[in-house]
Amino acid sequence: MADAVQLGAVVDADPGPQHRGGGIGLARHGECAKDPRRVPDRRDTYEGQQVTIFDNRGLCQHSGLCTDRLATVFRTDAEPFVAPSGGRLDEIIRAVRDCPSGALSYAIDGTEAREQVDRAGTREPAIEVSKDGPYRITGQIDLVGPAGSREGRSQGASLEHYALCRCGHSQNKPFCSGMHWYVQFRDPVPAPGHEPTLFEWAGGAAPGHSPGCAGWRIPQPGGLGCSHR
């Protein structure tokens, strides 16, 4: 087990009370085989006039933050996927830093700015339970496998922020691969005939939402945890 860290917050999509403070570690229980159909673990390099962008599609959780916010650089309808000269430098840096999976990074004048992408270690450790999506980890929380050793990472992956599967269908377990969208993962599962409220349509959680568990245990004072499904 890795040393416990001080957690800034466990942020749930449910707007109710959240856990803050206290010692916490993050451990995986049970083996997680990689799906042979997964996107290959390969870090691609896109050189532009001012900036070079690094991207590993095999690590992407497909949150859409980069494509929605900066579609002239991160393009879903063109090849190559990344056009590093398609936007302002500050916009590109912001999009790369906001990538929740840690698949993106950038370099200026041939030097990778990993420390800047990872916010120079200034973020408090936190776990966000995203709505109908993965656990989003920030603040450089160590990820420990069932044997007690650190979990292996993809090429170029950030150690400061990453996304963990919550639906159980990822092709890149234990990390999220975006399969929650394809399998229409819902937490909680809507009751038959349930009509979403305006709040839910806007992204809010339905009543009764709980963080869920997909093989993850978050050791906290009092022994709160989830066993492997």
User: Which pLDDT score, from 0 to 100, does residue 91 have?
Assistant: 97
For residue 114, give the 3-state DSSP assignment.
helix
Cα-to-chain-centroid distance, residue 7 = 17
Joined together, the tokens standing for residue 111 give 């030097």
For residue 115, give the 3-state DSSP assignment.
helix
Sign of CA dihedral 70, 72, 73, 74: positive
**Burial tier of 100 (Cβ tally within 10 Å: 0-12, 13-18, 19+):** buried
pTM flag (> 0.75): yes
- For the segment 198-208, what is each residue's pLDDT rounded down to a tens digit? 877 766 655 55
Q: Report residues of the chain scoring pLDDT below 50.
A: 1-7, 16-23, 210-229
Q: For the chain, which residues make up each domain, given as ranges?
A: 43-119
Q: 21: phi > 0 → left, psi -120 to 50 → alpha, else beta; which?
A: left
Q: What CATH class does 43-119 carry?
A: alpha beta
The rounded distance, in Å, linking the Cα atoms of 123 and 117 is 12
